[in-house]
Structures are given as C-alpha cells and as structure tokens.
Amino acid sequence: MLIKNKKIAIVGGGPGGLTLAKLLQLKGVDVKVYERDIDKNARVQGSPLDLHDNSGLAALEKANLLDEFKKNYMPGADKTTITNEKAEIFFSDHETVQTEDFGHEHFRPEIDRGTLRRILIDSLQDDTILWNSHFLSMQKQNEGWLLQFKNETTSYADIVIAADGANSKIRPYITDIKSFYSGITMLEGNVYEADKSLPKISGILRGGKIMAFGNEKDILMGQKANNEIGFYASFKAEENWAAKSNLDFSDKSQLLEWFKTTYFDWSDIWYELFENVQTPFIPRPINCMPLNQTWETIANLTLVGDAAHVMPPFAGEGVNMAMLDALELSECLTTDKYNSIKEAIAVYEKTMQKRASLIAQESLENGEKMHSKNALTTMISFFGGDHHG
C-alpha cells in the first residue's frame, strides 16, 4: 500500500473529513483529524442532510456504518410541502406511502447533522481527533508538512488532506483559484422546542421540509433532531449584503422588521420564525467554485468537500459529494494500482473536479429557478413529476 507507514493529517472534522478518517483507519492507516471545535459537544448548525445511494450512503456502507445510520435517521423528514408566500399548500407528498427502501436511487433518508457527526466520531479510534486544533499555517518539512495551530502546538504529517470547508486555509497551498458569489444570500436561523413555539408552521411542516416561494424569494426549512427546526430566508442580494445591511443579527425585532419589509407580501404566519429564533442569525452568501477549475497535483497534499468544490446547496449534494470524495480518495490511496502517491491523488482529483463541476452547474441552475418569478410553478412540476424522490 502506497501510504503504509505514512502519517496522514486531515484538517477539519466535518462529514467529509471524518468519513475519510474512518475509511483510512479500516485499512490500517495512521490518521489524525485536527478540528477547531473545542470538543465533540459543540453544537452543529445547519439543516438536516439527505444522503444519496451512490454517494453518502455508499461511503457509509464502505465504512461499515450503514446499520448505525439506519438506527438514527429520521423517517419522514424527507417529506416535502411546497407553499406560496401566503403559506397556501400547493404540493405535499406526506400522504404518499414511502417504504424504507435502502438501495433505491430515489430513496434519500434524512439525518440530523449532529447525529451523523456523532456516529462518525464514535466509530473512530479514541485518540484520532485532536480537538481545539485551529489550523494557522504549515511549512514543508522533509517529505511532508509541519502544521501549526492556534493553541501553539505543531504536528508533522507525510500527507495533508484539507477538509476545512468553504473558507479553507489549506486550499491556497494548492491553488489560487477562488470561489465566486452566486448572487444569492441565505439567512439561517434555528428554533428550539418548535412544536410549542411554532404551532402554525409545525402544522404545515409535519416533521418534514417546507419550501415556500414568492416574489423571487424563498423560505426553506427542515425538521432537525430534538424538536428543532432549521430555516433559511433565501433571496438575491449583493455580495456584501450582510455588512451593508447594518442589521444586528442578534436582534430578533430588527430582523422581523427586515423580513416584513423585504418579504413585504408574505403571510404573517412566517413571523413565528423570527419571533422565536435562537439568535444570532447567520448570514450566508452562497458561493461556487469555477466550473472549469484544475490545478497541478501535489504529491502530499489534496482536498475534499467544500474546500475543493464549494457549491450552492440547491441540488442537495454538498455533503454527499464530500463523503464521495472521502470514499474515492481513500480507495485511490490504499489501492496498489498506482505507482506513486502523486499519481493516486491525481486520479482522484481529476474525477472529483469533473464530477463536482456537473453538480455545481446543476446547483447554480436550480438556484436561479428557485429565485425566479415562476419559482412556485417550476418547483411544483419538478416535485410532482418524475424527479420526485
């Protein structure tokens, strides 16, 4: 095996990095994960994830974690309701009987982000993750890299894999290609004890997802574990909207006023979200990597997930792509097919770049459709047609 007796450092403990660590450990590889969170109890933000058969679920199966996933996923959380801005329902698949159909390409079971992270963390050997490791920089040393962290520790690795997300600190060591702004910004909020605090919305949500479309703006939300709901107000805006808006994202009443003005003809049902949110809101400008990106492969450094190919969330593929990256990279590094680690990384990168480019294109197109004048009709025909699943 090419990486026998090599020390591998994965920077970033999201689903991509943790999946990769597990897959490498199963092959007996010496791997460490460096994660900036203080410990494993850090609250995980973000909406639930739906995993797909040929990517996220395939990676979990290879990691021997599919049974654990089946015990922990949220049946029914993939049920979708589509409304207009007045919260009038135009599509719902809640009455469609869905059989638990693992192995079927259109079965996309949902899991809470925090739960998936826990499953992956618990599957790793005890000392795999070094918490409170906020990556600062690295220098070449011998055949590998010396990594430096904010807590003043350093660590040597023969191979470094960046899994540190959209604002990756390691990516610039590989390429200076930067992501571009898609034109869409999402404002993320979370509501706890949602059944009590959001009676009207919970009645429409029914433990699944809501997609609301009106006047080129959206509200997207999903049921999370522990009776939490995560939601996003999604709209077209200039790139530095958050800074220019002068909004205090910790001030509920200010944000409710912003919503009333910006989403001016939306029903007051949606006000529940802003009145009961856990502040602060998180503004998220949605970026995408150029679709034609390539770089010169480096023999001891590569990347997975958003660090490699951040893309809009409108195809539901972000985490699935990251986990598929982990699966494909682990296979390339542990097979005897290639003559060198550099060749193995190059094969992985070429496939990953091509695959990510197609999905990113789809995500950009979906983002345009979802924020267009006729978004409601487009999305109803999409979900009501053959694509549903």
Q: Radius of gyration (Cα) for the chain, nearest Å?
A: 21
Domain 180-288: CATH architecture, name and number where available: 2-Layer Sandwich (3.30)
**pLDDT attached to residue 47:** 73
What is the percent of the chain where pLDDT is above 90?
A: 86
Helix (H, G, I), strand (E, B) or coil at 140: strand
- What pLDDT, on a 0 to 100 scale, did the predictor assign at position 226? 87
CATH number (3.40.50.300, 1.10.10.10, 3.50.50.60, 3.40.640.10) of 8-43+124-178+290-367 reads: 3.50.50.60
> Could you give the C-alpha distances from 98 to 41, 76, 127, 188, 202, in angstroms and in order?
33, 8, 40, 29, 21
Backbone angles phi, psi at 241, to 5 degrees: -50, -45
3-state secondary structure of 220: strand
Nearest alpha carbon to residue 329 among 304, 312, 307: 304
Spatial separation of the C-alpha atoms in residues 224 and 191, rounded to whole Å: 10
Domain coordinates in residue numbering, the chain: 8-43+124-178+290-367, 180-288
How far apart, in Å, do the first and last CA atoms of the chain sit?
Answer: 39
pLDDT at residue 386 in the model = 44
Which pLDDT value is given to residue 388?
42
**Dihedral in degrees, nearest 10, Cα atoms 120, 122, 124, 129:** 90
- Angle formed at CA 111 by CA 381 and CA 210, multiple of 5 degrees: 35
Q: Which is it for the CA torsion 198, 202, 205, 207, positive or negative?
A: positive
Does 113 show up as a binding residue in the annotation? yes
pLDDT at 263: 98
Residues in the chain: 389
What's the rounded Cα separation, in Å, for the pair 283 and 217? Answer: 15
39 marked as binding residue? no
In a structure prediction context, what are the per-residue pLDDT tens digits for the chain, which is 389 residues long?
899 999 999 999 999 999 999 999 999 999 999 999 999 988 766 778 899 999 999 999 999 999 999 999 988 888 999 999 999 999 998 887 666 778 777 788 999 889 999 999 999 999 999 999 999 999 999 999 999 999 999 999 999 999 999 999 999 999 999 999 999 999 999 999 999 999 999 999 999 999 999 999 999 999 988 899 999 999 999 999 999 999 999 999 999 999 999 999 999 999 999 999 999 999 999 999 999 999 999 999 999 999 999 999 998 889 999 999 999 999 999 999 999 999 999 999 999 999 999 999 999 999 999 999 999 999 999 887 644 44
Specify whether the backbone of 154 is left (phi greater than 0), alpha (psi in -120 to 50) or beta: beta
pLDDT of residue 383: 86
Contacts of 267 (CB under 8 A, 6+ apart): 85, 86, 87
Q: In what order do the strands lie in the sheet with 154-157?
A: 135-141, 144-149, 154-157
- Is residue 212 within 8 A of residue 85, CB to CB? The reply is yes
For every residue of 343-374, DSSP letters joined together read HHHHHHHHHHHHHHHHHHHHHHHHHHHHTSTT
CB-based contacts of 73-77 (< 8 A; 24+ apart in sequence): 73/109, 73/110, 73/111, 74/48, 74/109, 74/110, 74/111, 74/112, 74/207, 74/223, 74/225, 75/100, 75/109, 76/206, 76/207, 76/208, 77/48, 77/110, 77/207, 77/208, 77/209, 77/222, 77/223
Asked whether 83 and 200 are in contact (CB, 8 A), the reply is no
233, 219 Cβ separation under 8 angstroms? yes
Q: Are 289 and 309 in contact (CB under 8 A)?
A: yes
How crowded is the C-beta side of 228, counted as CA atoms within 13 Å? 21
Sign of the alpha-carbon torsion through 51, 282, 189, 210:
negative
